Amino acid sequence: MLPAAFCTLARQPRTDGAVTILRLLAASSPNWPEVALVAARDPVLSLALLIAQPLAGDELADGLNSVLRRRLERIGIDLLRAWLVGIGQAAGHDAAASEQTLLQAECALHLAIETRYARPDEAYLAGLWHGFAPPSPDGGKTAAPARHMPSLAALVHDCGLPASLGDALELGTVLEEQLASAHPLLPIVAAALQLADPQWQERLPEAARLTGLHEGVLSSLRTDVGYIVSGHAAYPPRPAPATGAAAADAAATGPAAAVALADDPYRSAGMLGLLTAAFVDLDPAQVEDRLAIACPLFGLHGVPTLLAADEGGILRPMLPATAGSAAALIDELRLRLDDEASVVALCARNEHTTRFVRHGGRSGRSLADWQIARWLGFEGFCCLPLTTNGKAVVALVGVDHEGELDNDLCWRYAALLGAAVRSLRAAQRTQSEISGREAALHQRFHDHLRKIVHEASNPLTIIKSRLEMLGIQRPDDTPLKDELVLLNTELDRIDNLLRSASALPQETPETPRCQVPALLLDMRSIYGDTLFGQRGIQFELRTAGQLPPAAIPASALKQVLLNLFRNASEALQPGRRLVVSALPQIIVDGRASLEIRLVDNGPGLPPERMVDPFSPQRSRKGGKHQGVGLNIVHDILSHWGATLLCRSQPGNGTSFQIFLPLEQSA
């Protein structure tokens, strides 16, 4: 669980740093490395970013600035602005304390480098965060439960950093000899504190003993670090402080008179606008990813469960739910919008914040609410209404006691989650509109195809009837009968293709198996005379009687060969020749295949066509020719794992080689 620390921190980010980041983000192309550098100098910003997205493995080896930059870019400009506006500005800014913090961090970093400590950026963070501890939610007036007052070591663990860094932060006063047996990070941090002391010259001997470095080296290091910090601490100038009556007015409206964000119309409007922009035009997966990093920044224990009422009045998760998760279990509850006992349903109906907190083992009015609290891992939960366009949406935020979330926190959470919900709703509407248009288009296409099938069936019926009469008239002509059978088979195939097209995509896939010799003989019988013989072109077929089956449907191979046959018949002049051969088994790319070779002695392909013969190109043939035949052939063969090669020379003919994978035996 991520601790809800950053929404209620009394120690907010450095005002000058936050203002500088907002100014950098105002550029048309933000300088993210500079933004990361500012964040790396601020204890609150650096800690918040690392808790929002914990370190993975040895990610810190890339450098702290690179790590923070990745998180800042993932958050995005609008969400980052919204967060900085939402947490507001500290009432006062102690420049000396800020410089002291940065001095500690830089000293620790340079000492780590000088002593060859393996992870110098950890030393930097230890110096930056030393002395920094998140206060209780009410500023220390009351003792808060441990869960709401996480130790600095716990926060370090939530960042994905090693426990040794937490030890360096929480260790009190110890003797110098005790540090000799401690983890090497501890004496480095202790020495850094000595060098950051105003009387650092007097501390040099102790720092030298802790690090093993010569006092002269430490003195030079401290001087260099002081120069670096004086430059790093310089931010763009702020307006001059008010004086006289203006100063008195400012004092009267200081921390004690701070206005809650929800009651500040200017800040709240700005935050709502920025959050809306942060989530606009995102798909559901992007919304979920942005929430994953935004929720910890706003103090939430991860992404809350978002429930929306469906058309049947059932409250169901808006985001995908993994099996066994709280959202998945809540989905299985089938909680109804009209449930009179559940505070979740009450929130959805009345659009008012409701709460449920368990009291021991008692379930209260609604057993469903009791179970939801257990599944969320809290004593209870707060229901935030996020209703949009009259459609009920509820966010479930886990709490451990009745008064944990005040009105201002509820407003912040509702602002963040409401922006995400609006984006999800917009994505749903867009998808619904797309689905509606696709359904209408599919219906129009289906109706159009039915009309085509109906119109085409008439000439097909006439052709088949004429062929049948021809067979009756010449009952003793056996060769004619064989050709009529082949022609009727092809006509039936055309009829089936037309009818199946109107029922896509329910078409039953054809078996990827083909007897190549038989198919070539059939195609010669059907197309040999029509495409070649009647035009005075010689057509020769050379194939072995027995070849293993090829792993391609017969219809696909027929379409490929018919395209190539037509191209050859249109390109060859009378007296020219096309030779088609089916060759025995060969190995192509490690797979057993057979080859079909088509060779002609025609004019060859144009040189510009040979640059990329299988891409769609404008045809020189004119008429209805679109120049896509070879592209279709190539795509069909590629789909079935086959290979097509083309060789052509102007005036010397063209050859195509088709390598068909063989059917794999069981």
Segment 280-296 shows an average pLDDT of 90
Domain regions of the chain by residue span: 15-237, 298-405, 440-501, 516-661
Of 629, 633, 653, the residue nearest 643 (C-alpha)? 633
What mean pLDDT is predicted for residues 268-294?
86
| Amino acid residing at 188 | I
Residue tagged 């790093």 (tokens) = 232
What phi, psi does 659 have (nearest 5°)? -110, 110
Nearest CA to 226 among 208, 252, 201, 205? 201
Question: If DSSP codes are grouped into helix, strand and coil, which group holds residue 542?
Answer: strand
Based on its alpha-carbon atoms, the radius of gyration of the chain, rounded to whole angstroms, reads 39
The rounded percent of the chain whose pLDDT value lies above 90 is 37
Each residue of 400-432: pLDDT tens digit?
Answer: 887 778 887 888 888 899 899 989 888 888 888
Would you say residue 252 has pLDDT above 60?
no
- The stretch 116-133 carries a mean pLDDT of 88
Q: What is the arithmetic mean of pLDDT over 67-92?
A: 80
Nearest to 149 by CA among 133, 160, 165, 162: 133
Question: HSE of 255 in the Cβ direction (CA atoms, 13 Å)?
Answer: 9
CB atoms within 10 A of CB 595: 18
Q: What is the predicted pLDDT for the residue at 28?
A: 66
Q: What are the strands, taking DSSP E only, across 252-341?
A: 305-309, 315-317
Calpha distance 555→562 (Å, rounded): 10
Pair 537, 578: CB distance under 8 Å: yes
Task: Determine how many CB atoms are found less than 10 A away from the CB of residue 526.
Answer: 17
Please tell me the predicted confidence (pLDDT) of residue 433. 85
Q: Which structure tokens are listed for 528? A: 């040999």
H, E, C per residue of 635-660: HHHHHCCCEEEEEEECCCEEEEEEEE
Average pLDDT over residues 428-447: 83
Please report the pLDDT score of residue 269 as a whole number: 65
Closest to 186 in 3D by CA, of 133, 101, 108: 108
Q: Domain 15-237 carries which CATH code?
A: 1.10.3210.10
Cβ–Cβ < 8 Å for 187, 73: no
pLDDT band at 248 (very low <50, low <70, confident <90, very high): very low
- Nearest CA-CA partner of 76 in 306, 299, 280: 280
Sheet holding 305-309, edge to edge: 315-317, 305-309, 393-399, 380-385, 354-357
Q: Are strands 577-588 and 538-543 parallel, antiparallel or unpaired?
A: parallel
Place of tokens 């007036």: 141
What's the average model confidence in pLDDT over 558-574? 90
- Predicted confidence at residue 489, as pLDDT, reads 76
Mean pLDDT of 125-153: 60
Q: From the centroid of its chain, how far is CA 81? A: 22
The structure tokens 């229901």 sit at 383
Highest-scoring range by mean pLDDT, 164-168, 426-430, 437-441: 164-168
pLDDT for the residue numbered 239: 44
Q: What is the pLDDT of residue 144?
A: 40
> Lowest-pLDDT range, 210-214, 530-534, 613-617?
613-617
| Rounded Cα distance, 491 and 486, in Å | 9
Q: Which amino acid is at 294?
A: A
Residue 240 has pLDDT above 50, yes or no: no
CA separation (Å) from 106 to 95, 122, 176?
16, 11, 22
As a three-state string, the secondary structure of 379-422 is CEEEEEECCECCECEEEEEEECCCCCCCHHHHHHHHHHHHHHHH
Give the amino acid at 550: A
Q: Is 577 helix (H, G, I), strand (E, B) or coil?
A: strand
CATH 3.30.450.40, applies to 298-405? yes
Spatial contact of 597 and 656, defined as CB atoms under 8 Å apart: yes
Give the three-class secondary structure for 315. strand
Is 80 exceeded by the pLDDT of residue 554? yes
Cβ-defined contacts of 300-303 (< 8 Å, 24+): 300/2, 300/4, 300/397, 300/413, 300/416, 301/1, 301/2, 301/3, 301/4, 301/398, 302/1, 302/2
Q: What is the DSSP string of 457-524?
A: HHHHHHHHHHHHHHHHH-TT-HHHHHHHHHHHHHHHHHHHHHHHHTTTT-PPPPPS-B-HHHHHHHHH
Give the tens place of pLDDT for each residue, 355-396: 999 877 677 789 999 999 999 999 999 999 987 777 889 999
Instruction: Please state, in angstroms and rounded to a whole number, the distance separating the CA atoms of residues 10 and 6.
Output: 9
Torsion of CA 157, 159, 163, 166, to 10 degrees: -90
Amino acid at 126: A
SS3 readout for 161-201: CCHHHHHHHHCCCCCHHHHCCCCCHHHHHHHHHHHHCCCHH
Region 533-556: mean pLDDT is 89
CA distance 71 to 46: 10
- Compute how many other C-beta atoms are within 10 angstroms of the C-beta atom of residue 159: 23
What is the SS3 string spanning 139-157? CCCCCCCHHHCCCHHHHHH
The answer, yes or no, to whether residue 444 has pLDDT greater than 60, is yes
Tokens of 652: 């010397």
Q: Are 512 and 642 in contact (CB under 8 A)?
A: no
Is residue 395 within 8 Å of 401, Cβ to Cβ? no
Decide if domain 516-661 falls under CATH 3.10.105.10.
no
Question: Under 8 Å CB-to-CB from 24, ≥6 apart: which residues?
Answer: 30, 31, 34, 35, 38
- Side-chain-facing half-sphere of 659: CA atoms under 13 Å: 14
- Can you tell me the distance from the alpha carbon of 211 to that of 603, in angstroms, rounded to the nearest whole number? 86
Largest separation between any pair of C-alpha atoms in the chain: 124
Give CA–CA dist 33/503, Å, rounded: 57
* pLDDT tens digits, one per residue of 173-197: 788 888 988 999 999 999 999 999 9
Task: Report whether 193 contacts 187 (CB < 8 A).
Answer: no
Half-sphere exposure of 508 (CA within 13 A, CB side): 2
pLDDT, the chain, mean: 81
Q: Show Cβ contacts of residue 44 under 8 Å, excluding neighbours closer than 6 positions.
A: 6, 9, 11, 12, 13, 14, 132
